[in-house]
Structure 1
Amino acid sequence: MSPPQVAPLPVPGSAAQYQPPASGAQFTPLSTPEWESSLDIAKRLNATTSSNTDPATVSVLEQGVADLVARYETEGPHRLAPEAVDLRNFIQDRLEGQQPPRQREALFRLAAQASGLLGYMAVNAGREVVAEAYCKEAEELAKEIADRALIMWVQGTRSLNAYYAGHYDEAVQWAEAGLQIAPNHPQAIRLQSNGRARALGKLGDRPGAERAIAAAEELSSDHQVAVGLTSCISFEPYGMARTLANAATVHVALANAPQVLAYADQIDELVEQSDSAWSQALVRLDVATALLAGPRPDVEHAMVLGRQVLEAGGGPPIRSVVQRAGELYAGASRWQDLPAVREYDDALRSWQSAPQTRDLATSAKMACLTEQTRRAANAAHSRPGRISSHSSAQHN
C-alpha cells in the first residue's frame, strides 16, 4: 500500500489555504512551495552564529579580571575601581551584541565577576549602598548562568558589607543564604569564617561562632585548600591562613585573648611573608586589642603594635583597617594618661589626616557605629555570659 500523499506546508504569508481533497479526487496543490536557496540558508546560519566577541577577546577580559584580583591588595579600591568600571562597561558593550551560547555564557560570568569586584571594593571604601547595588547585579547575572560558586561569593560579600555597617544579624543571614546553596562547597569556607563566625562573635554567640570556625576548618581540610594567605578579593576558596586570621578576629570580639594569640602565632610567618599589608595590619591590630582584654592587660605592648601598623601605613586605606585602628584606641582610652596611649593617639590622628583615610574615619556611618558600640558596651556591663564593656567597645 502506497503512503498517503503529503501536502506541502503553505508558505508563510501566502493566501493559499489547504483544502482537503474530496473523496476519491486527485489532490492538486494550490501553490508551488518556495524553497530557500542554499545561499539564503548559509546567510541565516552565519547571522545566527556570528559574534561581536571572539574567543581571544574573552581570554583578554578573563585576564583583566584576574589582574584586578592580583593587584587589589597592593593598590586598593580607590585606585582600582575606575579600571574595574571600565572593564565592566566594556563587557556590557559586548553583551549588547550577539554571541554563540558558550561565548555569551563566558561574558555573563565576566560581567558578574566585574560587578562582584566592584561590590567588594565599595565595601572596603565604605560605600554600603553602592556595594549592595553591585552585589545585586552580580547575583542576577550569576543566576542567569547558574554559577553557584559565584552566587555564594556574592552572598559572602553582602555579609561583609552588613558586618562593617554594624548589622551583625543581617551579616549572619546573608552568609546563611549562601550556605543554603551548597553547604559543603569550597565557597562555604568563606561564608562560615568571614560571614557567620565573625558576625556571631560580635553578637556574643560564643557557641555559634566556634561551631562556624570549626566548620570552616573542616571544610578547608576536606577540600585541601591552599595553606597560605589567599587574596581577600579572590574568587578562589579561602586559604587556611585567611580562615585562621578570621578565627582570631572572632575571638577578639569574644574577649578570648589566649585564643587570639594562639591563632595569630599559628599564621604569623605566613602573614609576614605575604604581600598583604592589610592582613599584616589587621592581625597586629587584633593581637593589640586582645592584649587589652583580660585581668592583666598589657597596654604598653598593645600600643607598640598599634604604632607599628600606623608607621607601616597599613596598605592602601580601607574601611576594615581604619575602623580597627580606631577601635584599638577606643579600647585603650581608659588608660589615656599613659604616655604609650597618648603616643598612639598622636600617631592615629596623623595617620587619619590623609584625605581618603579621613573620609573613612569620619563617615557618618562609622560615627553612628561608635555610638552604637558605646551603648552596647554599657548595656552588656555586669551581665553574666556577655562580653565585658571595654572589650565590646573595642570591636562593635
Structure 2
Amino acid sequence: MPVLSGLGLIAVLLLAVKPQRGDAPLGKGKRPSRPLTELLGDMVETQDTLFALLERRQTPQQARQLHFLTAVTSGLLAKASHDLADPHAAMLQARTAVLCADQADHNGLRAWLRGLQSMVAYWAGRYAEAVRYAEAGTNIAASAAGTTSVWLPVSAARGYAALGNSTKALSAIRAAEEAWNRVEPDEVDELGGICTFNQPRTLYYAADALAWLPDAADQAVDFSTRAVNAYANPNDPAWAFGDQAGSHSDLAIARIAARDLEGAVEAVRPVLELPPSQRINGIINSVQRVHQAVTRAGLAVEGRDLLQQIEDFTSTPLKALPR
C-alpha cells in the first residue's frame, strides 16, 4: 500500500467517526455517518497493513511517513477502545502510537497522543494520571504550536478540577485560552476530525472542569451555556454529538448546583434521547455525573423521575451492543 493511499484511508476513517455536517440535531434522530462498531474492522486492518509495511525495507523518509500513519491509526483505535469503555485497551493502543510517533520524530503527534492518554485516564477516573499526561504533552506542544497546545492545558484543568484543586484548574483554563493566540496548525491538525481542537471544544472542556468546582458555580453556568450554544448548529464543521452531549450534561450539573432542577431536566433531556449506538463512554460518564449531582444536592426525591431516566439510559451503553 503506497503511503499516500494510507493517508487517504485514514482521512476516510477520521471523517467516518466524526458526524457529518447536515445531520439532525441532538435528540432529533441524529446518527453518526457510520457506527463505531462498523469501523473497527477497517481500523484494525489498516493498522495491520501499516505494520506489515514497516517490516519491509524503507527509505528513511518512507519509514518516517509510515510511522506517522501508524501512530495516527493506533491513536484512532485508542479513541475507539475508549468510546467502548475499555481504558486498558485504549492505553495499550496509545502507547503503541507513542512509540511510532517517536520513530516519526513528530512533536505535534507526540503531544496529540498525550492528549488522548489524558482523556482516557480522565474518563477512567484516574485524575492525577490525566493531569500528568496533559502536562507532559504541554511541554512537547510548546515546540509544535498546533491546536493540541490548547487541548492539553484545558485537559489538565479537568483533571485538577476533579481532584478539587480549583486554583490550578482555573489557571489551566486561562492558559488554554491564551494558547489560542499562538496556535499555528500543523500536520496533525490537517488530518481534521479528532486530530484537531477547536473553540467549541475549549468551551466544553472548561465547562466540564468548572462543573466539578462548587466555588465556581457562576462560571460553570456561563461556560456550559456558551458551550451548548456553540454546539447548537449541527451544520457547523466543529460540531460533534459527543461534545454537544457533554456540554448539555455540564449545564444540567451547573443548574443543579443552583437548585434549578427543572432547568437541569431541560438541559439533559436531549442527551437522554440518544440511541444506544451513540452512548459512548464519555456520554455515559457525563450523564452519570448528572445523577451524582442530583443526589449530592439532596434532590433525590424531587428528581426521582430524572434519576430513573438516567439509570435507564446508562443501562444500555454502546459497549453492550452486539458487534
TM-score computed with the length of structure 2 as normaliser: 0.83
In the alignment, which residue of structure 1 is the partner of 2:11?
66
Matched letter for residue 278 of structure 2? P
For the pair 1:189 / 2:150, whether they are aligned, the reply is: yes
Say whether 1:263 aligns with 2:215: no
Are the counterparts in 1 of residues 281 and 318 from structure 2 also a CA contact under 8 Å?
Answer: no
Pair 1:126-2:85 in alignment: yes
SS in 2 for 1:141: helix
Shift of 1:345: 2.9
- 1:124 is aligned with what amino acid? D
Cα–Cα, structure 1 residues 317 and 268, in superposed 2: closer, same or farther, change >3 Å? closer
5+ residue gaps, structure 2, are 19-31
The change in CA–CA distance for 1:279 and 1:181 in structure 2 (over 3 A counts) is closer
Deviation at 1:123, TM superposition (A): 1.8
| 1:226-375 mapped onto 2 (5 Å cutoff) | 234-236=194-196, 238-255=197-214, 256-274=216-234, 275-294=239-258, 297-313=259-275, 316-333=278-295, 334-338=298-302, 341-354=303-316, 356=318
Structure 2 residue aligned with 1:87? 46
Deviations 1:285-310 (A, max 9, x none): 1000111114xx10122123222211
Offset of residue 335 of structure 1: 2.1
Residue 163 of structure 1 is matched in structure 2 by: 122
Select the residue among 121, 137, 152 that pairs with 2:96.
137
Structure 1 pair 249/303, CA: closer, same or farther in 2 (3 Å)?
A: same
Q: What is the SS of the residue equivalent to 2:309?
A: helix
**Residue 220 (str. 1) matches residue 218 (str. 2):** no
Distance, in Å, in 1 between the alignment partners of 2:320 and 2:293 is: 20
Instruction: For 2:58, give the aligned amino acid.
Output: Q
Distance of 1:330 and 1:203 partners within structure 2: 16
Unpaired segments of 5 or more residues in structure 1?
A: 1-52, 360-396
Q: Partners of 1:106 and 1:231 in 2: how far apart?
A: 14
Letter in 2 for 1:326: Q
8 Å CA contact 2:154–2:206 kept in 1: the answer is yes
Q: Is the 8 A contact 1:76 1:318 kept in 2?
A: no
Structure-2 change in CA distance of 1:135 and 1:211 (3 Å): same
Deviation, 1:99, is: 2.8
- Inter-CA distance 100–72: structure 2 relative to 1 (3 Å threshold): same
In the aligned structure 2, how far is the partner of 1:317 from the partner of 1:113?
24
Which residue does the alignment assign to 2:23? Answer: none
- TM-score where L is the length of structure 1: 0.69
Using the TM superposition, give the Cα deviation of residue 95 of structure 1 relative to its aligned residue in structure 2, in angstroms: 1.8
Check whether the contact 1:292–1:298 (CA below 8 A) recurs between aligned residues.
Answer: yes
Letter of the 1:112 counterpart: A
Taking a change above 3 Å as real, the CA distance of residues 232 and 163 of structure 1, as seen in their structure-2 partners, is farther
In the TM superposition, residue 136 of structure 1 has moved relative to its aligned partner by 1.2
- Give 1:320 deviation, angstroms: 1.2
- 8 A contact 1:77–1:122 mirrored in 2: no
Kindly tell me: are residues 285 and 182 of structure 1, through their superposed partners in 2, closer, same or farther at Cα, counting changes over 3 Å?
A: closer
Q: Secondary structure at the match of 2:211?
A: helix
Q: How far apart are the structure 2 equivalents of 1:265 and 1:344?
A: 20
Distance 2:282 2:91 in 1: 17
Q: SS state of the match for residue 301, structure 2?
A: coil
Q: 1:336 to 1:248 in 2, by over 3 A?
A: same
Change (3 A) 1:353 1:200: closer
Q: Shift of residue 232 of structure 1?
A: 9.4
Q: What is the aligned residue count?
A: 294
Q: 1:332 to 1:267 in 2, by over 3 A?
A: closer
User: Once the two structures are aligned, what percentage of the paired residues are identical?
Assistant: 26
CA RMSD of aligned residues (A): 2.4
Residue 162 (structure 2) aligns with = 202
Tell me how far apart the structure 2 counterparts of residues 257 and 79 of structure 1 sit (CA, whole Å). Answer: 40
Per-residue Cα deviation, 1:78-99 (whole angstroms, up to 9, x for no partner)? 3322221111011122222233
